[in-house]
Chains A and B, each alone.
Chain A
Amino acid sequence: MSKRRPYTRPMAGWWRKNPFFVEYMIHEGTALFVAAYGVVLLIGLVCLAQGEAAWNGWLATMKHPLAVIFHLAVLAMMSYHSWTWFKIMPKTMPPVVIGGKRLAPAMITGGGLAVTAVASLILLGLAWGLTR
């Protein structure tokens, strides 16, 4: 083992020093909630495959106050994911040129959020109309 101990800048909590990085870490953190929600749906699907008793058990669990609080947190983080996803999109997608001019970032972000709003209304409308 070498006796040299070169200075290494400590990395712990680096992202707390800059609001931009805090925002970055929160939007990366939404992945934990997307994963958790995916797993909740997957468990529901497996219960559905196992029969009516298992399914009703899953539904009852979803009614537990802790489950509802959990889903409120997921809703907040999922919405934040939507917002940052489209906010960052102008930087991550190839430039779109329409009529010789580059499409403005605000148009891409706004377009994505508009699609989300319309799709949400359609989904809610379908769920409401089909299960009434």
Chain B
Amino acid sequence: MKRSNAPIFWGLFGAGGMLAAILGPALVFITGIAVPLGVLLAPDAMSYANMMAFAQSWIGKAFVLAIVPLFLWHAGHRIFHSLHDVGIHGGTGARLICYGGALLGTLITLWALLSIGF
């Protein structure tokens, strides 16, 4: 019997969902509200020099690699399974968009982190 690949996608969904639950709100507040509006954090907190130093460090790379792809895998899996609930019985096409999008995002993340250098 062929082994199911479901645990892999469920695992990525679960890991992304957990990260989004624990770090998501604070992260959105930092990057989307505090820094753009200059409240609580310094307006230049996300300056080019700061963010390059962050993205060039191993910790920064690991953080970005955990957050961005796992958020996309979490969302892709959940959206794929919700399509049924809104009356779209998607097959291969929907799978390709949801999981393919997450995979593409993962590859772009890897490429960007590599081209930023160490």
**A and B bind:** yes
Once the chains are docked, how many angstroms separate the CA of A42 from the CA of B113? 11
B residues in contact with A49, CB < 8 Å: 111-113, 115-116
B21 touches A38 (CB 8 A): no
B17 touches A132 (CB 8 A): no
Interface residues in B73-118 by Cβ distance below 8 A to A read 74-76, 78-79, 82, 85, 87, 101, 105, 108-109, 111-113, 115-116
A46 in contact (CB, < 8 A): yes
Q: How far does the Cβ of A35 sit from chain B's closest Cβ, in whole Å? A: 3
B48 touches A123 (CB 8 A): no
Majority DSSP secondary structure for residues of A touching B: helix
What does the 1/0 interface line of A1-18 toward B look like (CB < 8 Å)?
000000000011001000
Interface residues in A17-55 by Cβ distance below 8 A to B read 25, 28-29, 31-32, 34-35, 37-42, 44-46, 48-49, 52, 55
Number of residues of chain A lying within 8 A (CB) of chain B: 52
A128 touches B25 (CB 8 A): no
Interface residues in B1-50 by Cβ distance below 8 A to A read 16-18, 20-37, 40-42, 44-46, 48, 50
The residue from A45, A62, A63, A79 contacting B64, defined by CB atoms under 8 A apart:
A45
Once the chains are docked, how many angstroms separate the CA of A62 from the CA of B47? 13
Once the chains are docked, how many angstroms separate the CA of A32 from the CA of B72? 10
| A35-B71, A72-B33 as given contacts; A127 in contact with B55, CB under 8 Å | no
A86 touches B21 (CB 8 A): yes
Once the chains are docked, how many angstroms separate the CA of A123 from the CA of B105? 24
